[in-house]
Amino acid sequence: MPMKKRLPVLLLLLSCLASQADTAARPNIVLVMADDQGWGDMAYNGHPHLVTPQFDKAAREGLRFDRFYAAAPVCSPTRASVMTGRTPNRMGVFKWGYPIRPQETTIAEVLRENGYRTGHFGKWHLGSVRNASPASPGANGFEVWASAPNFYENDPIFSFGGKAQQTRGESSMVTVQLALSFMKKAVADDRPFFSVIWFG
């Protein structure tokens, strides 16, 4: 497998998992992140007032990482750490608005090299979402992307593979519908998928 540099342990483990010859044994991976949402902001973690039935169901039925800590208290470094498996001091995204460096190896690149379909939907905030940018989702391992450079409102304008397009609807629902279409196509094509859904 070609590597830009030595892989962090998390990416190395995912690479081993993804390279299994039996595609049926490869898990589909959905990574969901929301801005400004704390650990305790979920009913399944004991919040006394918030109602989160879909997240509660995902927590019951999916694989939970209860010690999956954010690498920073703000957006961009957290996103870059999730994508690279590295701390801000190692991968150079120190605060919000910093772009991901082209020399970083991302989880999307590792999985794509091992036969996964990869898609990013929603907030990127790791640099430009223009097709030619070395910080775009496409330059960082995503085959398909409908991404906003930062926070997005209702009727969001997304970069679809580098081309700006207006969408219609409540922003979270638009994001989910785009991700679901991507996942359904991957299933129909009998390919494991990595779907990143980052809400604003």
- Which residues form the catalytic set? 75, 125
Q: Token pair of 109, please?
A: 């690149």
Q: Token pair of 139, please?
A: 């330059």
Q: Confirm if 120 and 113 have CB atoms less than 8 A apart.
A: no
Report the alpha-carbon distance of residue 145 to residue 57 in Å, rounded.
26
Angle at 173 between CA 172 and CA 176, to 5 degrees: 90
Report the alpha-carbon distance of residue 177 to residue 73 in Å, rounded.
29
Amino acid making up residue 141 = G
Q: Is 153 exposed, middle or buried (0-12, 13-18, 19+ CB in 10 A)?
A: exposed
CA 68 to chain centroid, in Å, comes to: 14
Edge-to-edge strand ranges of the sheet holding 157-160:
29-34, 193-199, 117-123, 144-148, 157-160, 163-166
Q: Token pair of 147, please?
A: 């991404």
Q: Three-class SS of residue 199?
A: strand
